[in-house]
Structure 1
Amino acid sequence: MLRQQLTVAHHMGSSTVSPGPHSMGGQSSPSVYFGLSRRGSLSSLAESDLVQTTPKFVKDTSKFWYKPTISREEAIIMLKDKRPGTFVVRDSNSFPGAFGLALKVATVPPNVQTKAGADPASELVRHFLIEPTPKGVRLRGCSNEPVFGSLAALVYQHSITPLALPYKLVLPESDPAGEVSNPESPHSSEVPSSAAALLAQGAACNVLYLNTVDTESLTGPQAVAKAAKVTFSTDPIPKTTVVHFKVSSQGITLTDNNRKLFFRRHYPVTAVTYCGIDPEDRRWTKSNVPGAPTEAKIFGFIARKQGGVSDNACHLFAELDPEQPAFAIVNFVTKVMVGQNKVK
């Protein structure tokens, strides 16, 4: 099914369609997330403020990077003269149902022995197997790699952070088969403009809201640590609620769909000064939400109070879905701030 969806998108190019729940065709997006998801949904973030369990992106670049019929050798020829991070995904010939990821890297990994007489440029194209699982797809042989709900989700997450890959994927803006190599491209060490467009659209997931703590002029990791310490020492513990945590280039919006503590709160991007995981790595163990981790990582973001310059507050959360981990949410928030309001 996954391969069929990609093949349809590959052949349809940029034509507009009305995709189904897992479609990757037309101008709509494959499901892409902070971390992972068991399900794919393509409804726009703007369509509803109801709790969504799957974050979304909006631009499908799979027609540039998904080359189902090319061989391993053709992938090497296509990539060896390109800049590091350039990649293609093809159907695996050796493992039916799996995919081959060919990635151009800057240097040969230290644990890899180059073959005598081999073309040095070809050796910089490394190959990885993406295998199907009951929940989606994952990189084979990488124990620290999570399962992604779709191939596109795997690709886009690795364009934000390399995880187990030796190099972060660079989302293509054109077909690498006909692209002119430009190693000095200004996008080489930055977020590609196509990825920036995805970040600008935003993403969302459910998290457990824990507390908001005044930190006065304090920001950064120290503010998150203070908020966590205050929250853990409060007796009785603060009331918690599941919130829809939406991030976009406009800022962060929290929606308590059960209206247990509040309805909606918005923090403009210019007010958010930091986002990070609790530096003391405390875990939240008091969640009564079914399916939530028994020891959830804690993270928070710091935002200036409305009308204030130095008065800050730390908004504290615990990850709710182990397949949408705190580190990925924090990383996404940080990326959204790039070029707009640098995280300090």
Structure 2
Amino acid sequence: MKNILNDINNDLVRHYLIETVTTPTRGVRIKGFSAERVFPNLLALIHYHTQFPVALPCCLVLPPVPPSQTSGAVLASNASSIVGNGGGGGGGGGGGDSDSVTLVQNNGSRSKDQTPVSFHSMNETGNGTDTHPARNITSPISPTAGMFPSGLASPPPNISCRCLYLGAVEVDATLKEAGLMQAVDALIPGAVLQAEVCDQGGVDCPVQYTECQLQAAHNEGILLTDLSRKLFFQRHFSASSFVYAGVDPRDKVFIHPNHSALGLDKPKLFGFIIKKMSGEYVGHVFSEFDANIPAANVTAQINSLLLSK
């Protein structure tokens, strides 16, 4: 049967699991996608995905509300206004076992959870109770709520990708690409550095790598989330502190065993330079870890987002 482009009623039904999470915040999220954030309840999750698809192939389409059930439409309208202005008291949990819920592209049903939607409850906690192995960087799930410090849930980031964070090095204030190369050389003096060497060196190795979710948005800056919370929970760099992002032009590489599984035979090194409040310039270095988004695309979009006024 011939498919009609963008006709969800003529496409195969795709199922997505929703899971309950308790760390870093209690809530629900779509399971198995690092770009997905944590929502305080099922209503908030569904309402958000009617506007932004994020990991879904399209926005959710809710069935029309019968005239006899106008309260549901009023609830959705209220939820929209709360998300828009950041008000509301902040519902937390949402009841029931959300693991049993299945999202489909059509024939969906409206949630009966009447908890008002407020994203203020999705704060950054990072209490240090991490159950993940220090070197487990294979999980496809991000523990982050994906928030910028504005207090509201940010729209889907203008750029979002997974990468390996390798470290940060102070660089010369007058340099951009050369400053990034200076940071790379400090972390990787030779042509190739294997992850196993870093594991054997322990804390004495200059590279302390961890898998991160990198998000950048115009006027918001850059948000890094350590997916295993090995080195940190989240780090935010404001747009005003951003100086430059680029790819190391040489053939230096950091090799992790998962690179081959991701189809990255020669993962590029890239990074960005930030000016600290104290005046020093710091280069943050990464290795590609997302085959769908090349490092050149990531850095080009970051520069476009944060250097444009």
- TM-score, length-normalised on structure 1? 0.42
Higher helix share: 2
